[in-house]
Amino acid sequence: MMGRRQNIEKPGDQKMSDPALHQELRFHISDMDCPSCLSKIQGDLGKLDGVVRVEGSPVARTLTVQVDPNLVSREGVQERVKRLGYVAEPIDGGHRPAPATSTWMNIQAQIAYASVGFFSLGLLLQFAGMAPQLLSLPLHDLHLPDLFFLISAIVGGWNFFPKGIRAARALALDMNFLMTIAILGAVGIGEYMEAAAIAFLFALAELLENYSVDRARRSVEALLELAPDTAQVIRDGHEVTVQSDDLLVGDEVVVRPGERIAADGIVEDGLSAVDQSPITGESLPVEKAPGDDVFSGTINRDGFLRLRVTRLASESALARIVRLIEEAEAGKSRTERFVERFAAYYTPAVTVGAILVVAVPTLLFGGPFVLWFVRGLTLLVIACPCALVISTPVTVVSGVTAAAKNGVLIKGGLHLEAMGGVKAIAFDKTGTLTHGHLKVVSIQVLDGTGENDALARAAAVESRSEHPIGRAIVEAAEERGLPPSGLTLTDFRSIPGRGAGAKLDGEEHIVGNPGLVQVGDDENSPPVEVTQKGRTVVGLSRAGDLVAWIALADRPRDSAGEAVNRLRKAGVQQVVMVTGDNQLTAEAVGLQVGVSAIRAGLLPEDKVR
């Protein structure tokens, strides 16, 4: 995820204006669907005096423009973008997610499919010999199959005809312009089948590319939804509900059990276990006490917390992750960059060449205009770089899709192309090398109680708990076919950050961490061989006496070790495991899987580094 957002910079403007006065303007571009759209906007805005830098992300549909406010206004940027056929809506405050585009994608798909359908009908009629003449035109005749080809060309070109016209008006000749001229030229000389083929092939190529970008955009939207829309803030001694984006540094926020934390902050009061897996990937909830940091988007499990906000929504750990993803998605492969540079020269060259083919013979040598006009249009048709335009997005999408079917997510062509030279791979632990789900791995009884009886009693206590450890114990009992013990459960209570307790047939039982249940000397300590393996250990006490130790772990996937070995055989020299979990747990998993190195206790930005 080390790609960067596309940007342009104008060193000359920096010299003419005071950098201290530069202003950053952010916009949402609702119909910026691909890198070529962004390049067009960047190129046009870069011509304005006072524009210092232009950055953008087609995935998030955002545009950031750094300007000298004495020379360029927000309205001026919006007007310039509008001339190119796009709508720039100002973004104020925190990160604004791009709206879902499934409706537009459906329309675009229907247009492409309809174009293919009409083209197919034309081919069937032509091969069947059903081609009666419909019209007689000056340069050619129109037959029945030609009518379907013409409809196919019009329908297929519906997506890019407007873009081609806007490009011509802005004198920014691009592929859309060339495709538009080529299709009109093919129709003009009576090559209706070629016009339809160009239209529907290009429509399909754009659909594939936009589908890939839209899928990435939806993944970003899903990530943004981790943060709650509102938060409970203490103001003037009362709790009030405010929008999460409106939280200020220093605000006091209260978070109840089961709620998501709305902002990065520091715990002021309370004890609880917080599920940080959405941010750090840690497989177990982390116990939080006054003075500990918490992150936006994480889940408060079983205690009441009062925290003080330390970062605005736009600077939270979650927002930083979103920016990292946007930057990665905006990265282009070398092949894509080459095609883009090639097209910048190729399109104008072909257009000028077609004009010369018509003008030179007719004006200088007296050639027949109609003949050379047809030849000029023919040049546009045969020179139209359909294969070049289609090849890159189709290849990228095919590779990414093939990988996705095998459970691998590759975030764009840049990273797909780079895989050929990879010598080191870093895997996240939780949910990648491991199942991401706790499971009971051993039970050690201390007072002669049977394993099944100890597990059944622990499961009875945890049956009312929502903590992942409690759920794992209940699942283990169910897997062994242990029915409810038949004991009457009363007085259940959650002990935030430590465990749970209840009375079974009036007898006190506690399931919790060693500090909660341990009594007496070291003879009752958790087994050393268990703790050294990095496993999570909870104890069961009955009427004040320690009954059993239950060890839990997030198990490695069965195929993880084999995958690491196959990577080494394929030439990968280093296989590294990165995780937000503690060192002992990480080492236990790393030893089983056979990785080359381990980096534990990492936040997302640490993993990227």
- Catalytic positions, please? 428
CA of 208: how far to CAs of 60, 231, 396, 542, 551, in Å? 18, 40, 10, 62, 49
Q: Is 407 exposed, middle or buried (0-12, 13-18, 19+ CB in 10 A)?
A: exposed
CA of 363: how far to CAs of 369, 467, 545, in Å? 9, 85, 107
CA of 376: how far to CAs of 242, 278, 379, 388, in Å? 64, 59, 5, 21
**Residue-wise over 485-523: b if at least 16 C-beta within 10 A, else e?**
bebebeeeebbbbbbbbbbbeeeebbbbbbebbbeeeee
Dihedral of CA 542/545/551/552: which sign? positive
In 3-state terms, what secondary structure has residue 506? Answer: coil
Q: How far apart are CA 27 and CA 194, in angstroms?
A: 40
Q: How far apart are CA 143 and CA 129, in angstroms?
A: 11
Residues whose CB falls within 8 Å of the CB of residue 66, separated by 6 or more in sequence, listed in order:
22, 23, 24, 25, 51, 52, 53, 54
Query: Residue 468 gets which letter from DSSP?
Result: H
Q: How far apart are CA 19 and CA 531, in angstroms?
A: 56
Query: Residue 94 gets which letter from DSSP?
Result: S
Instruction: Note the Cα 11 to chain centre separation in Å.
Output: 32
In 3-state terms, what secondary structure has residue 171? Answer: coil
Six token digits for residue 520? 């007496």
Do you know the residue count of the chain?
609
Q: How far apart are CA 173 and CA 348, in angstroms?
A: 6
In 3-state terms, what secondary structure has residue 408? Answer: coil
Q: Are strands 597-599 and 574-578 parallel, antiparallel or unpaired?
A: parallel
Please state at what angle helix 144-156 crosses helix 102-127, rounded to 10 degrees.
160
